[in-house]
């Protein structure tokens, strides 16, 4: 009888060790971060997507663009080549969500200031008001680092098309043929292939934390 309990005790110890090992393996497998999604028009709220591409389910990328930044410099897709970047749409005279969004974009700027892989890009939805001079005043006031963050203005039709057909980020104001945009609180995370990898509420601190973590996840994709 004593021998039986000794054998049982040994079995219990071995079984316990094996169970711990198996649980550790499963834990490590389950905690592996999943890749960030690659957003397609069909995955996004239809209010934010031009009707001509709402059906699109793959191969979506940000279109080439040409804008002018706060320093009067022409900014194109080439300036963001091989970069991860965060984009949003705003206007300098906005008194509602824009100040919060700009403050949170500044927080992101501080976190990635010394990271050459990451940049920021903010498009004005009122380019007729947001001239280069106006953007420069706003940039100085908000602590924009010119090497890291471009505030851009340009042709309203091009900005509208980028917002609705590329970034899938703003609502149409419903007025025919005027390129009217109702900007939203969306921040978009764009990868080095010009693909959308995440949407975040630019007014929420918790979303900014998630965005910063997702930037780290995205960077790991390029390290593998």
CA–CA distance, 211 with 16 (Å, rounded to integer): 40
How many other CB atoms are found less than 10 A from the CB of residue 2?
6
> Do residues 74 and 191 touch, judged by C-beta distance below 8 A?
no
Structure tokens at 198: 């995440």
C-alpha R_g of the chain:
24
Q: Does 94 count as an annotated binding residue?
A: yes
Q: Which pairing describes strands 74-76 and 196-201: parallel, antiparallel, or unpaired?
A: unpaired
| Residue 191: half-sphere exposure toward Cβ, Cα within 13 Å | 20
DSSP 1: -
119 phi and psi angles, rounded to 5 deg: -135, 175
Confirm or deny that 207 is annotated as ligand binding. no
Q: Closest Cα partner for 151 from 207, 45, 43, 71?
A: 71
* 55 assigned ligand-binding residue: no
CB 201 within 8 A of CB 186: yes
Q: Return the residue matching tokens 């790991």.
A: 220
The answer to whether residues 162 and 65 touch, using CB atoms and an 8 Å cutoff, is: yes
Please give the annotated binding residues for Cu cation, written as ranges.
Answer: 94, 98, 183
Q: Which residues are annotated as a binding site?
A: 94, 98, 183
């Amino acid at each position: 009888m004593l021998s039986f309990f000794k054998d049982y005790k040994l079995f219990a110890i071995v079984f316990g060790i094996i169970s711990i090992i198996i649980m550790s393996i499963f834990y490590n497998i389950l905690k592996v971060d999943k890749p960030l999604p690659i957003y397609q028009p069909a995955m996004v709220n239809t209010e934010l997507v031009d009707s001509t591409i709402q059906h699109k389910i793959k191969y979506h990328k940000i279109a080439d663009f040409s804008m002018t930044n706060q320093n009067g410099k022409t900014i194109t897709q080439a300036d963001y080549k091989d970069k991860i970047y965060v984009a949003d749409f705003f206007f300098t005279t906005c008194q509602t969500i824009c100040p919060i969004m700009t403050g949170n974009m500044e927080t992101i700027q501080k976190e990635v200031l010394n990271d050459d892989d990451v940049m920021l890009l903010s498009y004005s939805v009122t380019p007729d008001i947001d001239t280069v001079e106006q953007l420069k005043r706003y940039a100085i006031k908000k602590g924009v680092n010119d090497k890291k963050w471009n505030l851009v203005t340009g042709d309203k039709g091009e900005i509208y098309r980028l917002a609705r057909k590329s970034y899938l980020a703003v609502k149409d104001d419903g007025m025919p043929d005027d390129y009217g945009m109702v900007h939203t609180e969306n921040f978009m995370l764009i990868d080095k292939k010009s693909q959308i990898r995440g949407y975040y509420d630019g007014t929420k601190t918790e979303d900014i934390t998630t965005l910063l973590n997702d930037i780290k996840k995205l960077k790991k994709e390029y390290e593998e």
